[in-house]
Structure 1
Amino acid sequence: MAAKPQSLRPLASLLRPRSAYRCQQHQQQPQFRSYSAAPPGARLNGTVNYDTTSILNHTSKTALSNPELPENVRTGPTKSINLYTAVNEAMRHALQTDERVLVFGEDIQFGGVFRCTMNLNEDFGTERVFNTPLSEQGLIGFAIGAASEGMRPIAEIQFADYVYPAFDQLINECAKMRYRAGKTDMHCGGLVVRMPAGVVGHGALYHSQSPEVLFTHVPGLRVIIPRSPIQAKGLLLAAIACNDPCIFLEPKILYRAAKEHVPVGGYTLPLDKAEILKTGSDVTVVSYGTPLYTCEAAIQKAEKDLGCSVELIDLRTIYPWDRETILNSVRKTGRAIVVHESMQNAGVGAEVAATIQEGAFTRLEAPVKRVAGWATFTGLAYEQFVIPDVARVYDAIKKIIEY
């Protein structure tokens, strides 16, 4: 390439990307908090070790010890699978046991973007597992019609970021159908809308959103977010059997990262009950989905440094959510922190915090705190800095203890 004229070199130097140089500077002098749960070179002040986290069941014994599982399942076999395989197995079981179940969406015949529907088309045929046109409002409209005729449709939105064109169908048709049906008893029970959601590290503006709170303003819908393979399988089967239409958001970063022992047979888990993952006496931390792993790492460090005892609760279903479990915990601990990946403004944390203020105000030792995504869209280069990390959750625990 010919050399640039001398007069253009200063301009070229100004236009040259400097991100690599800044990264080199950062690597030479790593900045991290002394209480970070990971060494200085670690990303995000702590990378989750999915091989050791207590949130996942690393043995068959721990998986089958869950008291929520049916007795016949607790005495059966398990196998170690990741989350997308658990989702696949749930749909496979539903297709095998209920002829009313249909599975459809954009490109799902070859397995979908995340391979959640692998081999379902080959095993159950194109009449029950099939592709749809690239129209979210169209495929949700079809799902509503199928559900109103007694089918159990499982509709896949390729990314949660793409669901917005279907809002009119979901809110004005799906959620309201039972309210206007009168004596016909027509409703959309059995309809499940699956969608991958959340940050994955390189999703940028259109593949990283967590829109769950937008659905929590809609009576008639259930909104569910699993944290692990065993939860994904049980909650998805429960959603398919439920007589309310369900929005089922799957944390896509966990599709392959989260792996644990899962019962081989079919089973359901309660859609209306939060789960206490760890008991504690000084602080209640409420979360759901991927941030639970961040919370666990922060709690371990905080308990070691501060000598406190922290209770960790997974909401699982964020609408309608289990108020009683949360209130009972906060009445015991006197302190509450709500953590979620979606934006803080008008988020799930705001509703949980308001409910705690109303139902447990006299037992509070400190104001309820929220640790959530910043109120901004997620640019590619800054994706990991928008969501809660270990340091932010640790800060919240430290401040609420010292209040």
Structure 2
Amino acid sequence: MAEINLVEAVNQALGHALAHDPRVVLLGEDIGVNGGVFRATAGLQARFGAERVIDTPLAESGIAGAAIGMAAMGLAPVAEIQFTGFIYPAIDHIINHAGRLRHRTRGRLSCPMVLRSPYGAGIHAPEHHSESPEAMFAHIPGIRVVIPSTPARAYGLLLAAMRDPDPVVFLEPTRLYRLFREEVPDNGEALPLDTCFTLRDGDDITLVSWGAMLQETQAAADLLLDEGIAAAVIDVATLKPLDMDTILESVARTGRCVIVHEAPRSAGFGAEIAANLADAGLYSLAAPVQRVTGYDTVVPMARLEYTYLPSVARIADAARKAMAA
């Protein structure tokens, strides 16, 4: 079995869905003839035709609105926003229509759509190409928020998202698109949504992260292990609804927690996890919860980009601080 990277896994999942579910249609800017700016949809229009893989105008609001209409009428659209920094014109539709359609129609209609977008910093892109707005989407009632961290999880979670009867915002870490490869069988098997994945066990401290930051988080866990600190590592994967039980079970064992994300610190999704730990796991905590995050600034240009992103050293230092408390 050939090894593929994350963007190829996305392409493989989309191709499988198009081949096996006639309701699935793709729409977005340059996704057809050109195969998408990151080639996530390369070759799909040639295989399935321009009626299934639709090139749209440069109009994010129109893309989202059209996808919602398609979903309400029985299709299963997958809309691509070319860069997450361009997603804001679509938010009106996501909040007011996609997230509320089931409620507004008292269950008569649902909105089985997926809104895909490359997401996050780390590729030396200019402003508007490096956003991390996951907390904003997680705040919207009726919306699932999913962020894969490996090719296999991208494949399985995207299949699950496309089969879900309600809207899913699927954020694909751009930094991981071509970072590494692994074997991903094209067997159509979905992974569970609303579930955290425990990537490694440890009894001393729990490290919680998602998306591209799991690279640094796992490297920090390796560094800590060399110092005699055994860290559990949890991939949140689905931010909304949040599988808090897995995190609470780990913290009940370790007594300490570090939460890592590249989005700005203020009102970042790590604060939601920390608040849940305070609500339901306070008596398990032997030290204050630590957060290692991006800064409350726009992501800087290439020279300072990796100063902005949480580093292995920052994560390890936060873990040592928790261990010393």
TM-score, length of structure 1 as denominator length: 0.79
What do residues 94-126 of structure 1 show as CA deviations (whole Å, max 9, x unaligned)? 000010100110000111100000011011001
* Kept after mapping to 1: 8 A contact 2:6/2:181: yes
Contact 1:281-1:310 at 8 Å conserved across structures: yes
Distance (whole Å) between structure 2 residues aligned to residue 345 and residue 79 of structure 1: 42
Post-superposition offset of 1:299:
1.2
1:370 and 1:143 map into 2 onto residues whose CA distance is 36
Of the candidates 278, 282, 285, which is equivalent to residue 207 of structure 2?
285
- Letter of the 1:102 counterpart: V
Partners of 1:228 and 1:216 lie apart in 2 by 21
- Partner SS, residue 261 of structure 2: strand
Residue 159 of structure 1 is matched in structure 2 by 83
Partner residue, 1:149: 73
Instruction: Tell me if the contact between 1:204 and 1:383 (Cα under 8 Å) persists in the aligned partners.
Output: no
Per-residue deviation at 1:79? Answer: 2.6
Amino acid at match of 2:43: N
Match of 1:327 in 2: 248
Q: Does 1:225 align with 2:136?
A: no
Spell out, residue by residue over 1:264-316, the C-alpha distance to the aligned partner (whole angstroms, 9 max, x if none).
Answer: 321100001101000000101110011111011111111212x1111000000
- 1:371 alignment partner in structure 2: 292
Q: Compute the RMSD of aligned alpha carbons.
A: 0.9
Kept in 1, the 8 Å contact 2:13–2:186? The answer is no
Q: Which amino acid aligns with 1:364?
A: L
Task: Summarize deviations over 1:57-78 as a string: whole Å, max 9, x none.
Answer: xxxxxxxxxxxxxxxxxxxxx4
The one-letter code sitting in structure 1 at the alignment partner of 2:27 is: F
Of 283, 302, 316, 1:394 maps to 316
The 5-angstrom pairing of residues 288-299 of structure 1 reads 288-299=210-221
Equivalent in 274, 283, 288 of residue 353 of structure 1:
274
Aligned to 1:70: none
TM-score by structure 2 length? 0.98
Give the letter aligned to residue 262 of structure 1: V
- Asked if structure 1 preserves the Cα contact closer than 8 Å seen for 2:194 and 2:239, the reply is no
Alpha-carbon distance in 1 for matches of 2:126, 2:37: 17
Q: Which runs of 4 or more aligned residues in structure 1 lie more than 3 Å from their structure 2 counterparts after TM superposition?
A: none
Within 1, Cα distance between the matches of 2:165 and 2:26?
17
Equivalent position amino acid for 1:87 in 2 = V
> Helix, strand or coil for the counterpart of 1:267?
coil
Q: Distance in 2 between matches of 1:293 and 1:253?
A: 10
Using the alignment, how far apart are the partners of 1:296 and 1:170 within structure 2? 33
Alignment of 1:11-26 (within 5 A): none
Q: Distance in 2 between matches of 1:384 and 1:201?
A: 10
Q: SS at 2:127's partner residue?
A: helix
Residue matched to 2:265: 344
Asked if the contact 2:203–2:253 (Cα under 8 Å) also holds between the matched residues in 1, the reply is yes
**CA distance in 2 between partners of 1:398 and 1:114 (Å):** 38
- Secondary structure at the aligned position of 2:122 is classed as coil
Q: Does the CA contact (< 8 Å) of 1:201 and 1:384 recur in 2? A: no
Residue in 2 aligned with 1:106?
29
What is the DSSP-based 3-state SS (H/G/I as helix, E as strand, rest coil) of the residue aligned with 1:276? strand
Runs of at least 5 residues in structure 1 that lack an aligned partner in the other structure: 1-77
In the alignment, the residues of structure 2 paired with residue 182 and residue 387 of structure 1 have an alpha-carbon distance, to the nearest angstrom, of: 43
In structure 2, list runs of 5 or more residues that go unmatched: none
1:120 equivalent in structure 2: 44
Who is 2:109 aligned against? Answer: 186
**Matched residue type, 1:177:** L
Return the offset for 1:258: 2.4
In the alignment, is residue 139 of structure 1 matched against residue 63 of structure 2?
yes
Q: What is the number of equivalent residue pairs in this alignment?
A: 323
User: What residue is the counterpart of 1:247 in the other structure?
Assistant: 169
Deviation track 1:68-92 (CA, whole Å, cap 9, x = no partner) reads: xxxxxxxxxx430011110001000
1:217 counterpart letter in structure 2? H
Distance 1:205 1:111 in 2: 23
Q: Distance in 2 between matches of 1:374 and 1:201?
A: 18
SS in 1 for 2:263: strand
Which of 265, 268, 271 does residue 187 from structure 2 map onto?
265
SS of equivalent to 1:285: strand
Give the Cα–Cα distance (whole angstroms) in 2 for the partners of residues 194 and 264 of structure 1.
Answer: 20
Find the structure with the greater CA-based Rg: 1
In the TM superposition, residue 182 of structure 1 has moved relative to its aligned partner by 2.5
Question: CA offsets per residue over residues 310-364 of structure 1, 9 Å max, x none?
Answer: 1000000011110100111111110011001111110111000010011111111
CA distance in structure 2 between the partners assigned to 1:333 and 1:209 by the alignment: 32
Q: Aligned partners of 2:61, 2:141: CA distance in 1, in Å?
A: 20
Q: Output the CA distance in 1 between the equivalents of 2:283 and 2:53.
A: 53
CA distance in 1, matches of 2:57, 2:30: 9
Q: 1:383, CA displacement in angstroms?
A: 1.3
